[in-house]
Chain A
């Protein structure tokens, strides 16, 4: 059973890569892919470190490696330098950069220099050479996948996205909390961020969802059932529906409800006016 999200010490980052073959019991990841992703992660952290400190001020060292699900725990070590005190964590800056990328805060993400580009490169090969990777930083966890690829590329190469977005400016771009009624289909239970597909009751379109802090059993219970999913919805401005939902609640519905029993169950009332709301 997948445990709720781990927390690791500050100044450390953990990378875990999941193999492309979801049917295999254990993750099988080519060594070259894992090594490339590890190197790219270090480059991204160094870029963020340089952006916030003026120069690379930490050395990233391997603290632990494990192979059951290819995982590396890295720690940053301050490089003593003369004439300067009060350095910011490069790993922390990397996490801030990824958070800004995911929420579409382009200007903030660009403050971390070439970190955005390295984050994009971290995602290349997702769903092909590997399914997805997880990066833990302190109490946050990021999914390195197609979604992060799109979000980072939109900042890294905005010219590719501008024309498409400008074709319809009415779509919202940003983050909003919301809930969606649909049927849970297809679940990838691997790792700390299980993924589900939600087929919307309204319209039948499919939404990509990831589940944070969820036990696998709760997701299994929801499979092929009509549910209401609540979470943080990421809109990319290219559609009226969110590109991804970070799920924080899944509420089941009952298929055999007889709503007619509630007929006449209220005394007379009118729709309350909203005019004085907030006064």
Chain B
């Protein structure tokens, strides 16, 4: 387990949890979520995640539940917009990265964005 008070979660982490596709990880994720609720850790995610969660895969037939889901996502974690200052130089970093599997590729861009946030105090 990584010991940090500030965590960045990419879409792949949310997907694995929401689809329960990696049972060996869910208990650890549960722990982080509970710690975030207690204020022990801060978990950040890019607002791009909102576009990558496929709503048509939501199991509940009740359409209001998906609104509640997104509302809870916004409350439980801290969304970070890809700000212009972060996005503009991101391509420089991306072109220096070696090709990676799909999930990690998506993660790399936004992990980099969060690293850039360290200049602003993150």
Contact = CB atoms under 8 A, between A and B. Distances in A.
A-B complex is real: yes
Interface of A: 170-172, 174, 176, 178-181, 200-205, 228, 233, 235, 239-241, 251, 253-273
Contacts of B37: 256-259
Interface string B44-76: 100100001110011110000000010111111
B73 A259 contact: yes
Given A257-B76, A259-B37, 16 more contacts: A172-B84, A178-B81, A202-B80, A203-B117, A205-B120, A240-B86, A240-B119, A254-B72, A259-B77, A262-B18, A264-B18, A264-B19, A265-B18, A266-B15, A266-B59, A270-B15
The prevalent SS among residues of B at the interface is: helix
Contacts of B86: 240
Contacts of B99: none
Q: Which 8 A-B residue pairings sit nearest by Cβ, starting from the closest?
A: A203-B121, A264-B20, A172-B84, A259-B76, A253-B75, A240-B85, A257-B75, A266-B18
Interface in B96-122: 102-103, 106, 116-117, 119-122
Nearest to B72: A257
Given A181-B79, A263-B17, A269 B89 contact: no
Contact of A267 (B44, B59, B79, B84): B59
A265 B60 contact: yes
A91 to B, nearest CB: 33
Given A269-B15, A269-B57, A253 B74 contact: yes
Contacts of B94: none
15 contacts: A172-B88, A179-B47, A181-B79, A203-B121, A240-B119, A253-B75, A254-B75, A256-B37, A259-B33, A263-B26, A264-B18, A265-B58, A266-B15, A267-B59, A270-B102
Given A176-B84, A201-B42, A259-B76, A271 B71 contact: no
Interface of B: 11-12, 15, 17-21, 26, 30, 33-34, 37, 42, 44, 47, 52-54, 57-60, 69, 71-81, 83-86, 88-89, 102-103, 106, 116-117, 119-122
Nearest to B36: A259
Nearest to A179: B81
A254 B76 CA distance: 8
Contacts of A262: 17-18, 69, 72-73
Contacts of B59: 265-267
A251 B20 CA distance: 29
Contact of B34 (A200, A205, A260, A268): A260
Contacts of B106: 271
Contact of B19 (A205, A267, A273): A267
A165 to B, nearest CB: 13
B85 A235 contact: yes
Contact of A228 (B18, B54, B69, B74): B74
A181 B80 contact: yes
Given A259-B73, A267-B19, A181 B78 contact: yes
Nearest to A255: B75
B47 A172 contact: no
Contacts of A181: 78-80
Contacts of B47: 179
B79 A266 contact: no
B120 A266 contact: no
Contacts of B53: 266
Contacts of A271: 11-12, 15, 52, 102-103, 106
